Amino acid sequence: MGREIKIAPSILSADLTNLGDAIRILNDGKADLVHLDVMDGHFVPNITFGPAFAKELKVVSKIPFDTHLMVSHPMQYGPKFAESSDWLTFHIEADDNPQDTIKLFKDLGVKVGISVNPGTPFSAIKEFVPELDLILIMTVEPGFGGQKCMTQHFSKLTEARELVEELGQDTEIMVDGGVTEHNVAEVVKAGATMFVAGSAVFRGARGPVEEIKVLKENALKGLE
């Protein structure tokens, strides 16, 4: 099964005083998704974007919104963010009833993902994979940008890839945390089809459009 590689720049790393322009840059820079990190101050220490703010940003976006719910009550937040999201991902560590959350999100008409933290084994979500559109493997601790990638968790990408291919599914496998032009090929080789990049896109010396181009070029080397 052929793999198409997609990049989802995280706007949390952009200039927060000018996010509208940041999204317009992603439109022009051939990003595949806009990654929106939603934090509630409980599941993770930080607080970021609310649903009303996300709706305002969606107006200027020509590409899908990939919303990562780093929250303690995904069933509570999901319906509010579904209004502006094409993808909704919640954390297995934050949910006692993942089956119900998957159903709710699907009924809302969005694509559904589950994320696993670095300390959580892939086996924690294995039973839910047949119903998922996206598997998100965290290679940093959620809640803060700019962390160094924990490469030891690339093995989870491989586990996910093997299971998805065994099931004959086209479930996307995403990695989030410290992805750069120097390790993105390794990420793809391990099994990823999508990757989040924040600092690498918005804080790189070349500027976001050129950084996206370089990241994609290097990512494709992982398929060689």
Which of 66, 95, 133, 176 is catalytic? The answer is 176
Q: Is 170 a catalytic residue?
A: no
Q: 116-145: buried (b, 16+ CB within 10 Å) or exposed (e) per residue?
A: bbeebebeebeebbeebbbbbbbbbebeeb
Q: What phi and psi, each to the nearest 5 degrees, are found at residue 187?
A: -60, -45
Helix (H) or strand (E) holding 68: strand 65-70
**DSSP labels, 167-178:** HT---EEEEESS
How many angstroms from the chain centroid is the CA of residue 123?
A: 19
Q: Where are the alpha helices (DSSP H) in 29-170?
A: 51-58, 74-82, 98-107, 154-167
| Active-site residue, from 21, 28, 37, 66 | 37
Annotated catalytic, 21? no
Catalytic residues: 37, 176
